[in-house]
Structures are given as structure tokens and as C-alpha cells.
Amino acid sequence: MFTEFFLKNAFNLAILFSCGMALLVVRFWLSRNVQWKKGFTFHAAQFFIYAIIIGTIGSILNNAIEDYNL
């Protein structure tokens, strides 16, 4: 069951993993090494990444509900 679920959602899970890594890069690299004022672009990028994460989780839940009749 887990393997089938993983294979059907492999692309979505890859998106979640890459978005998580992008958030870590934004948080640590930009906040510690670069001394610049966080402006609109920084916050817009974070909002976009969070929107992708929420959309991907919704897609995974839709697949689970459809496939397993939850």
C-alpha cells in the first residue's frame, strides 16, 4: 500500500522535498551570510514556496481520498 501510494505521488513528494530544501537555503544562507534588508522579493519568494507546498499536499490528499475511498 505504501509503495503504491509513493509511486503515484513521487512527483508531488519530490516537489515537497525540493521546496523544503529551498526554504532551508533561504532561511540559513540569506539570514546569516548576506547582510541585506529583507524586502518584498524575499517575502514573496517565501510565500510562493509555501503556496506550492500547500498545493502539493492538497494534491496528495486528493489522490489518497480518490484511491483509497476515504
User: Considering its fold, how many domains does the chain have in total?
Assistant: 1
Place of cell 476515504: 70
Expressed in angstroms, the distance from the first to the final Cα of the chain is 14
69 DSSP 8-state letter: T
Note down the domain range covering 63: 2-68
- Average pLDDT of the chain is 80
31 vs 56, which has greater pLDDT? 56
Which pLDDT belongs to residue 45? 82
Give 35-67 pLDDT, tens digit per residue. 666 677 777 888 888 988 888 898 888 888 887
Output the pTM of the full model.
0.67
pLDDT cut 90: percent of the chain above it: 0
Q: What is the pLDDT of residue 33?
A: 60
